Amino acid sequence: MNSRTVLLYGRSLLLSGVAAGLGECSGLQVAQAATWAETCRLLAERIPDVLIFDLTDTCESHILPLLFKNPHLLLIGLDTAYNQAVLVSGQEAQSLTLDEIREIVEKGSRQEALDEAYSD
């Protein structure tokens, strides 16, 4: 099984909880960065398969250019104010559980993740 890499960017407690939950999954390498400078250092080492960030505490002007430079990158924004996770493809999935986030992260492509998220 190929290992997938996940980078969580931000300082919220929600991100720490998601990181802990994803860290229990075999085949996932999970890293966290609290600041944009730390995130840039980790991105310079390797572009992750998935970037999860806090929508309420993150400057999207840092995040969105990553998608244009790395179209394979799966971006998931967590919005605690509205209890939803937003897939940056422009579609959103409301009230995702940790298990549902884990399923999306483990999928091999953005389309598979979207198909899975909206199959119900």
pLDDT computed for residue 91 by the predictor: 45
- Percent pLDDT > 70 in the chain is 78
Pick the residue with more confidence: 28 or 115?
A: 28
Predicted local confidence at residue 95, as pLDDT: 65
pLDDT given at position 90:
43
Measured between alpha carbons, how far is 73 from 119 in angstroms, rounded to an integer? Answer: 21
Q: What is the pLDDT of residues 19-57, one digit of tens each?
A: 999 988 888 999 999 988 999 999 999 999 999 998 877
Task: Report the alpha-carbon distance of residue 85 to residue 18 in Å, rounded.
Answer: 12
Q: CA triplet 83, 36, 44: central angle to 5 degrees? A: 120
Residue whose C-alpha is closest to residue 86's, from 95, 75, 99, 77: 77
pLDDT of 97 higher than 50:
yes
Mean pLDDT, all residues of the chain = 79
Into which CATH architecture does domain 4-117 fall? 3-Layer(aba) Sandwich (3.40)
Higher pLDDT, 92 or 24: 24
User: So where are the chain's domains?
Assistant: 4-117
Residue 79 in contact with residue 56, Cβ under 8 Å? yes
- Res 113: pLDDT: 58
- Taking the C-alpha atoms of residue 104 and residue 113, their distance in angstroms, rounded to an integer, is 5
Sequence-separated (6 or more) residues with CB below 8 Å from residue 59: 36
Distance CA 120, CA 43 (A): 34
